[in-house]
Structure 1
Amino acid sequence: MATPTKTAGLALAIIGAAVAAHAQTTGFAASVAPTDTTPVTRVVPDSPGQLSLSYAPIVKSAAPAVVNIYTARVDRSGASSMTDFMRQFYGAGPAQPRVQQSLGSGVVVAADGLIITNNHVVAGADQILVALADRREYPAKLVFADARLDLALLRVDTRGAALPVIRMGDSDRAEVGDVTIAIGNPFGVGQTVTTGIVSAIARTGIGVSDWQFFIQTDAAINPGNSGGALLDSQGRLMGINTAIFSRTGGSNGIGFAIPSKMVRVFLAAADKGKLVSGWIGVEGEPLTTESARLNGLDRPGGLLVTAVVPGSPGAAAGIRIGDVLRTVDGKEVADGGQLRYSLATEGVGRALDVVLMRGGREQRVAVTLAAPPETPARQVTPLTGKSILSGVTVANLSPAYAQELGAGLPESGVVVVQILGQAPAARLGFLKPGDLIEAVGGQPVGTVADVIARAAAGATSLRFSRSGQRAECGLTANGQFGCRTA
């Protein structure tokens, strides 16, 4: 089965998803030009002359603001197994650190030297070099990065020289069938331009970003295009190219870009040093054909509310369990990923217009976004002793911590955040960071305190869930360790 392939290694971490580096983290959003909202004129070609029109003027205008990014990282983990063998056999000296190099693309968003790229292009880099289309080169510093969005902000010192800047577009205005132009540095061959159309919007569940909301295009995107620009027919930035869907690692006409509206959110987060998405305290699941029929709908479409946090903005607006959320601020809500995108791209304190179905009748409510609370405290705790969880670090989930981890986790429960290499869970391979602990030693647990108490008793069994799938692991009657789906 085909799987999403990063054009460079994507560095996602359970802890510390938002990374701020260097002191200058103020005013980034204000330094970027306002979004260009001039409507696109959509005309179907109706003559051979129109088919011979060229995108060259658009490319000449936008291409100078798309840069090549070269990174170097010193690998201090040691040499390869063959080098180890040679060193031991011939008595050679210690292994020398190796330099790993990679490449990608970026987009200049401010003339004073701010550049947007993918987080996975620069993650872990010791040195970053930016090369402009006119062959100017600048060393770059990482200013801010967020692995959940797979975006990073770089700054170069231009010594007063103004860099060419991309025009920002509004990705919410993109429609399937619109012309797209992708500019990047595929395979390190130099700046390359490809064209296509918007194949789909609001793609979720792709698995290349925890926010899981992308513009899909058939413009050819290959390794090295990561961080490059996806433009509309007027040369405005619609998205940052981030991944391809491929069996071979080459372009098969299915590429994904992070919407420009999310880039705006990222720049605002860089100003604050942390990404905080709006929260309404509502959880749900996509409608099925049967649940749609029970709710008086002739087809699936919307999010069935399964939980509402007491005292949350959703509760204050009157949203109830069993309601079906249809639209948020005019945008259709088909699943949890689309709801998270709608909330993430609006600021805390913003009032959103929500259309819902209740008892077969449409209702409209206003919900004011709030910052997610961290209740209960996360209480990150490494477990010791002789239980099945020895060497495992767990924490309490809260709306704030679940958002910080960015893995589509629920807003309550106990989550695994780390597993030591010698822990039973690591050696036997049955537990992973992000798993939710539901029971220890046959007893249900809801907090870290519960887990500590059960582990202290030397528990030898465990029930947990992973992406909605439950499993039970422990010692069987004959003393053997085993797992089964629950």
Structure 2
Amino acid sequence: MNSRIATLLASLLIVGALPLAATAQQAVPTSPQQIDLTFAPLVKSAAPAVVNIYTRTKVKERRVAPFFDDPFFQQFFGDQFKFSQPKERVQSSLGSGVIVRADGLIVTNNHVIEGADQIRVVLADKREYEARILAAEERLDLALLKIDTAGEQLPVLPLRDSDELEVGDLVLAIGNPFGVGQTVTSGIVSGVARTNTGIGDYGYFIQTDAAINPGNSGGALIGTDGRLVGIPTAIFSKTGGSVGIGFAIPANMVAAVIKAEGQGGKFVRPWVGAAGETVTADIAKSLGLARPGGVVVQELYPEGPAARAGIRPGDVILGVNGRPVEDPEGLRFRLATLPVGAQATINALRKGEKLDLAVDLIPPPDKPAADEILLDGRQPLAGALVVNLSPAAAEELNIGAWSGVAIAKIRRGSIADRAGFEPGDVIVKLNEQTVASTRDLAAALEGTRAPWSVAVDRGGTVRTFRLD
């Protein structure tokens, strides 16, 4: 097929650029085969492994003002306003999925099935199955479903090494946009290793101009070899329809989640205990680098894998196992596709010297214990659930700090919520005193009165809240 594409493109370029004179290089298509290019055989092979997913979710909604549920009003009116109670309705949604194992294992986006009370999978041949959730990774926006095939082997889409993709490669998107039925669109790879998209915590995507619309989520993005290269997950659009900027989760990330499930465990991203920032043009100039790109190491966890491997602050991480790394998101992705317990080769640069350092990949340590405390009372953090930070807790909350006290959750409408605190805030100081643990924080709050001064680290910036 590639040779046919090359032949046709060459012919069209010649026709557009030169007069139709008879020379050795000037030619028009001479056979139907040179004109009749089609992806039909590819689609016939891949489409049976792409399924439609329908979900039903029970949601509650109020028909009248919610203050009728307030205890003050109930004291006077009791339950006579029963019509004011939340009413339950069923919300339906749709998406797509891909069969990745013949016994009925299906991968889709987490947002397709999140919160669903019922999930139905419809195969390409219209057969329907109830599905159950095997794994749901909210931060990756991936989920694994299982249907009972009674021993029947279903068609599957094999996964391709998504690192092989290059900008300009032809791709096809297969899914169920707007519920109209299985639909195929074509395009090219517009970009690889897209980060800073604001989509998910592991923001590393394949960008394509193949039309992706609502309902395509969780479907298949395949290459011209018929293998799965990505799972369409999001689009940039002001209207909700495709404008040629779509994003897919790379197949290598999908493979890591499937492997974790196959080993009977939850997906755990390997941890190396190194943190840093993107090498910008200014940083590259200060370090004497030829170009920006990579991650300059700023902090190492004491006795962590990176420190034991010999990585030092100031080193620039350029790759993992020979695969390029351009920023911290790219580093997170590269590590996430590798199994815990293995070793990775960190490709680094130190004062102009290239280094290849073997780093052990371990789960993030979970010490100290989280020691969760839900704060209450008349103080500015009432309604906040606080935890002691460890590498594991920091990973779960997507926080850069490895120690201290962080807000894990905030009850909606609570004092802490109204004061402007947010989940992920690291509490640095209370009334100018350093906060070491959740118990220290709770004790300090009980022993002080207004006014309060609370300093928090939010995304690397320290903010101070002064509250009466």
Give the TM-score range, shorter chain.
0.7 to 0.9
* Matched residue, 2:207: 216
Report the alpha carbon displacement of residue 369 of structure 1 after superposing the two structures with TM. 1.3
* Matched residue, 2:412: 421
Q: Alpha-carbon deviations, 1:340-369, whole Å to 9, x = none?
A: 111111112222222222223222221121
Which blocks of at least 5 consecutive residues in structure 1 are unaligned?
Answer: 1-39, 480-486
1:321 equivalent to 2:313? Answer yes
Q: Which one-letter code corresponds to 1:56 in the other structure?
A: A
Q: Alpha-carbon deviations, 1:228-286, whole Å to 9, x = none?
A: 00000111100111111112211111111111111111112223331111111111111
* Matched residue, 1:484: none
Which among 35, 58, 70 is matched to residue 42 of structure 2? 58
Runs of 4+ in 1 over 3 A off after TM superposition: 40-44, 48-52, 78-85, 88-96
1:400 equivalent to 2:392? Answer yes
Q: Given the superposition, is the C-alpha separation of residues 312 and 43 from structure 1 closer, same or farther in structure 2, using an over 3 Å criterion? A: farther
Q: Given the superposition, is the C-alpha separation of residues 441 and 132 from structure 1 closer, same or farther in structure 2, using an over 3 Å criterion? A: same
Equivalent-residue separation in structure 2 for 1:201 and 1:280 (angstroms): 25
* Matched residue, 1:445: 435
Q: Alpha-carbon deviations, 1:100-134, whole Å to 9, x = none?
A: 00000000111111111111111111111111111
* Matched residue, 1:357: 349
Equivalent-residue separation in structure 2 for 1:90 and 1:443 (angstroms): 50
Equivalent-residue separation in structure 1 for 2:259 and 2:236 (angstroms): 30
Which blocks of at least 5 consecutive residues in structure 2 are unaligned?
Answer: 13-28, 69-78
Which structure has the larger Rg over C-alpha atoms?
A: 2
* Matched residue, 2:11: 47
Which among 237, 246, 250 is matched to residue 255 of structure 1? 246
Report the alpha carbon displacement of residue 179 of structure 1 after superposing the two structures with TM. 0.6
Equivalent-residue separation in structure 2 for 1:242 and 1:70 (angstroms): 16
Which among 36, 60, 79 is matched to residue 62 of structure 2? 79
* Matched residue, 2:462: 470
Which among 116, 125, 132 is matched to residue 123 of structure 2? 132
* Matched residue, 2:327: 335
1:172 equivalent to 2:143? Answer no
Q: Which one-letter code corresponds to 2:250 in the other structure?
A: P
Q: Alpha-carbon deviations, 1:363-398, whole Å to 9, x = none?
A: 222112122111221111112233211221111221
Q: Which one-letter code corresponds to 2:220 in the other structure?
A: A
* Matched residue, 2:447: 457
Report the alpha carbon displacement of residue 162 of structure 1 after superposing the two structures with TM. 2.1
Equivalent-residue separation in structure 2 for 1:122 and 1:46 (angstroms): 46
Q: Given the superposition, is the C-alpha separation of residues 339 and 90 from structure 1 closer, same or farther in structure 2, using an over 3 Å criterion? A: closer
Q: Given the superposition, is the C-alpha separation of residues 41 and 363 from structure 1 closer, same or farther in structure 2, using an over 3 Å criterion? A: farther
Does the Cα contact within 8 Å between 2:64 and 2:84 map onto a contact in 1?
Answer: no
Q: Which one-letter code corresponds to 1:434 in the other structure?
A: G
Q: Alpha-carbon deviations, 1:392-414, whole Å to 9, x = none?
A: 11112211222233x25332232
- Is the partner of 1:190 in helix, strand or coil? coil
For structure 1, which segment, 435-444 or 307-316, has the greater mean C-alpha deviation from structure 2 after superposition?
435-444
Which among 226, 230, 235 is matched to residue 244 of structure 1? 235
Q: Which one-letter code corresponds to 1:70 in the other structure?
A: Y
Q: Which one-letter code corresponds to 1:79 in the other structure?
A: R
**Count of paired positions:** 432
* Matched residue, 2:276: 284
- Is the partner of 1:167 in helix, strand or coil? coil
Report the alpha carbon displacement of residue 94 of structure 1 after superposing the two structures with TM. 6.0
RMSD of equivalent CA atoms:
2.4
* Matched residue, 2:106: 115
Q: Which one-letter code corresponds to 2:142 in the other structure?
A: L
Q: Given the superposition, is the C-alpha separation of residues 129 and 453 from structure 1 closer, same or farther in structure 2, using an over 3 Å criterion? A: same
- Whose relative contact order is higher, 1 or 2, with alpha carbons under 8 Å and at least 6 apart? 1
